[in-house]
């Protein structure tokens, strides 16, 4: 027995109708999520893109869109980055758990698309409100969820760029 929505169903005029178009469209962000992402900001040094260029990973990351990613690809991506030493074990688990958490709410299709940035921003908001209520464990989760957001943002930027990227704070020197 399943409680809640399963699969791609949408309420229309009091009935549930299968929504076939939802799997190809990115999920839109709410105002609260946009505010949360603005508060989190960005950290361009969270992911070593210069090292990624040396490993020639641009082809694998080309066109990465965290607003339209599947549960399965999040798990694969986290393992891929961790194996190459680009993210920590904890960040890899945080990224892959996005899919696990999403699946527990009734979505059984590992290829179902969701907005990973929205997911992490919503979870971060929930964690921060729990922290205000006295949940001390939340203090340890906040930096990890922020790291996950930064990694996703940096992967999106890296996947959309065409040439080698320079890390902020470092300079490219020409040898004569």
pLDDT at 3: 44
Alpha-carbon separation of residue 146 from 26, 159, 172 (angstroms): 21, 20, 28
pLDDT at 111: 77
pLDDT at 31: 81
DSSP sequence for 42-109: --TTSS-HHHHHHTT-HHHHTT--TTSEEHHHHHHHHHHHHHTTSS-HHHHHHHHHHHHHHHHTT---
pLDDT in tens, 50-90: 899 999 888 888 889 998 898 888 889 999 999 999 999 99
Q: What is the mean pLDDT of residues 110-124?
A: 85
Helix (H, G, I), strand (E, B) or coil at 9: strand
Are the beta carbons of 165 and 41 closer than 8 angstroms? no
pLDDT in tens, 149-168: 999 999 999 988 876 555 55
Asked if the model's pLDDT at residue 22 lies above 50, the reply is no
């Amino acid at each position: 027995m399943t409680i809640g929505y399963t699969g791609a169903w949408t309420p229309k005029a009091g009935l549930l109708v299968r929504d076939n178009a939802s799997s190809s469209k990115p999920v839109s962000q709410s105002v609260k999520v946009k505010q949360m992402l603005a508060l989190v900001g960005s950290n361009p040094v969270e992911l070593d893109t210069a090292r990624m260029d040396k490993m020639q990973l641009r082809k694998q990351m080309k066109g990465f869109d965290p607003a339209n990613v599947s549960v399965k690809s999040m798990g694969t991506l986290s393992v891929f980055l961790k194996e190459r030493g680009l993210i920590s074990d904890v960040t890899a688990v945080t990224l892959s758990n996005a899919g696990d958490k999403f699946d527990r709410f009734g979505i059984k299709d590992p290829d179902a698309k969701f907005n990973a940035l929205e997911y992490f921003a919503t979870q971060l908001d929930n964690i921060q409100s729990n922290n205000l209520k006295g949940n001390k464990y939340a203090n340890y989760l906040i930096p990890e969820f922020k790291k996950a957001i930064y990694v996703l943002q940096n992967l999106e930027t890296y996947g959309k760029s065409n040439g080698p990227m320079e890390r902020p704070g470092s300079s490219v020197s020409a040898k004569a």
